[in-house]
Amino acid sequence: MKIDFLEVSAYRIPVKKPVATSFGVMRDRPAVFVKLVADDGSFGWGEIFANWPAAGAEHRARLLVMDIADILFEIDGETPESFWQELDAKTRIRAVQCGEIGPFDQVIAGLDTAINDIAARKAGLPMAKYLNGENARRSVPVYASGIAAYAADEEVARARAEGIRNFKLKVGFDTDSDLATLGRISTGLLEGERLFTDANQAWDVTQAADFLAKAEAFGLGWIEEPIPARSKLEDWKILASKTEIPIAAGENMVGDTVFDEAIASGVFSYLQPDVAKWGGISRCYATARKTLDAGRIYCPHFLGGGIGLIASAHLLAATGGDGLLEVDINPNQLRDAFLDGEMVNGEWQLPETPGLGIEQLPEEISEFQTLTLSRTRN
Ligand SMILES: [Mg+2]
């Protein structure tokens, strides 16, 4: 199979309430969606990570068209995985030379998702079944993500009203106020509900250990990225030895070696690769399988538009295990416009439509387009 045509679009939706994490604030919600058309006319959709930096969405669209499209068009791939391997190998030097390994990884991840979408559509199977046949689940449980501490009470109540029983609060701001909020929310949990936290790399090992000692009584399901994601494994091990709270990470891990070492280290109870940041469906599914084989839990990380969220749901359904699907509770039309009643009582129902089930981009997001570029194979 060869790819004959690609079209990539960047979007931005201004937000009324900026989304705050411990390392910065998102003042709009961006997304980058890519459509690929194969030489037999079949097509597929992918999403490329674009939350950061602030100007990243349009840059990634241009990177795809100006630096990667020609390499993509040269590949005659037998499987989605073979496209990923060739794209990865043939862009490495350039990515290193310009210091942009992340953006290249993210663009290739989006292309991989689109190529897998093409393959699943051709097989006439929904993505989860294309990946794992009848073992794929029909639904997966979700957790409400992106809950800011300052709005935790109302956001948890809103998620609960939608039937969600798992909530993740952002911490890493003011310690006393973070702990007070966690204490209050954990006390108010109903039976069967769980509370998780994400520090977004806010602390060093000592600060993290101090915080977690004080949070021990709250019964937290996990602490996500308590220390910088690229800390030495030795530091992660020291922290893990000081707390009973399970540790989660993976959205900022890149490459098979890094994931293999993280899985083997025993530090991480939960591994969270992001389908739009590295590896696409091909490598994230392989990583998810390795995670399960090692007795760990795979939880896809995702905080973007609709295509990546749908891909994440299929990945989790294909993988199985005790993982939860991350669903951002902040308003975002670039996500919601793709959905059609998938979430029922806190469970994400996987549709039976082939591939990711996306025929075209929803009309209602077109007004938020900031850039559309296309290329045809010569
Ligand atoms: Mg996170």
What is the structure's pLDDT at 111?
99
Domain 3-124+362-376 has CATH 2.60.40.10: no
Q: Is the pLDDT of residue 149 over 90?
A: no
Look-up of token digits 């900026």: 18
What is the phi/psi pair of residue 367, to 5°? -70, -15
Nearest to 251 by CA among 237, 270, 232: 270
Taking the centre of ligand 1 as the mean of its atom positions, its distance from the CA of residue 377, in whole angstroms, is: 38
Stretch 235-252: mean pLDDT: 98
Q: How sure is the predictor about 27, in pLDDT bands with cuts at 50, 70 and 90?
A: confident
Q: Are 310 and 338 contacting, i.e. CB atoms less than 8 angstroms apart?
A: yes
How many other C-beta atoms lie within 10 A of the C-beta of residue 124? Answer: 10
Taking the centre of ligand 1 as the mean of its atom positions, its distance from the CA of residue 216, in whole angstroms, is: 20
Sign of CA dihedral 217, 218, 222, 228: negative
Buried b (16+ CB within 10 A) or exposed e, 64-103: bbebbbebbbebebeebbebbbbbbebbeeebeeeebbbb
Mean pLDDT rounded to a whole number for the chain: 97
For residues 232 and 141, what is the distance between their CA atoms, to the nearest angstrom? 32
Taking the centre of ligand 1 as the mean of its atom positions, its distance from the CA of residue 144, in whole angstroms, is: 12
Q: Are 375 and 65 contacting, i.e. CB atoms less than 8 angstroms apart?
A: yes
Taking the centre of ligand 1 as the mean of its atom positions, its distance from the CA of residue 224, in whole angstroms, is: 6
Cis upstream peptide for 53 (omega within 30°): yes
Q: How sure is the predictor about 288, in pLDDT bands with cuts at 50, 70 and 90?
A: very high
What is the structure's pLDDT at 185?
98
What is the structure's pLDDT at 22?
77
Q: How sure is the predictor about 239, in pLDDT bands with cuts at 50, 70 and 90?
A: very high
What is the phi/psi pair of residue 49, to 5°? -55, 140
Q: Where are the alpha helices (DSSP H) in 98-215?
A: 101-123, 127-132, 152-161, 175-187, 205-215
Q: What angle do CA 349, 147, 101 make, to 5 degrees?
A: 80
Q: What is the DSSP letter of 349?
A: E
- Fold classification of 129-349 (topology level): TIM Barrel (3.20.20)
Beta strands in the chain (DSSP E): 3-21, 24-38, 43-48, 139-147, 166-170, 194-198, 223-224, 247-249, 268-271, 297-298, 325-328, 343-344, 347-349, 369-376
Taking the centre of ligand 1 as the mean of its atom positions, its distance from the CA of residue 329, in whole angstroms, is: 14
Q: pLDDT tens across 194-214, in order?
A: 999 999 999 999 999 999 999
Distance of CA 108 to the CA centre of its chain: 14
Taking the centre of ligand 1 as the mean of its atom positions, its distance from the CA of residue 269, in whole angstroms, is: 14
Taking the centre of ligand 1 as the mean of its atom positions, its distance from the CA of residue 170, in whole angstroms, is: 8
Strand ranges across the sheet with 43-48: 43-48, 24-38, 3-21, 369-376
Taking the centre of ligand 1 as the mean of its atom positions, its distance from the CA of residue 46, in whole angstroms, is: 21
Q: Is the pLDDT of residue 289 over 90?
A: yes
How many other C-beta atoms lie within 10 A of the C-beta of residue 17? Answer: 10
How many other C-beta atoms lie within 10 A of the C-beta of residue 55? Answer: 10
Taking the centre of ligand 1 as the mean of its atom positions, its distance from the CA of residue 352, in whole angstroms, is: 30
Look-up of token digits 């791939």: 77
For residues 331 and 319, what is the distance between their CA atoms, to the nearest angstrom? 28
91, two tokens? 């862009």
Q: pLDDT tens across 305-349, in order?
A: 999 999 999 999 999 999 999 999 999 999 999 999 999 999 999
What is the structure's pLDDT at 136?
98
What is the structure's pLDDT at 150?
86
Taking the centre of ligand 1 as the mean of its atom positions, its distance from the CA of residue 198, in whole angstroms, is: 6
Q: Are 175 and 22 contacting, i.e. CB atoms less than 8 angstroms apart?
A: no
Taking the centre of ligand 1 as the mean of its atom positions, its distance from the CA of residue 199, in whole angstroms, is: 7
Taking the centre of ligand 1 as the mean of its atom positions, its distance from the CA of residue 247, in whole angstroms, is: 12
What is the structure's pLDDT at 21?
77
Q: Are 141 and 324 contacting, i.e. CB atoms less than 8 angstroms apart?
A: yes
Amino acid at 285: Y
The backbone region for 268, taken as left when phi is positive above 0, alpha when psi lies in -120 to 50, beta otherwise, is beta
Look-up of token digits 């663009």: 107
Q: How sure is the predictor about 25, in pLDDT bands with cuts at 50, 70 and 90?
A: confident
Q: pLDDT tens across 105-145, in order?
A: 999 999 999 999 999 999 999 999 999 999 999 999 999 99
For residues 99 and 87, what is the distance between their CA atoms, to the nearest angstrom? 17
Where do the domains of the chain lie? 3-124+362-376, 129-349
Stretch 173-182: mean pLDDT: 96
Which range is least confidently modeled, 43-52, 147-156, 288-297, 312-321?
147-156
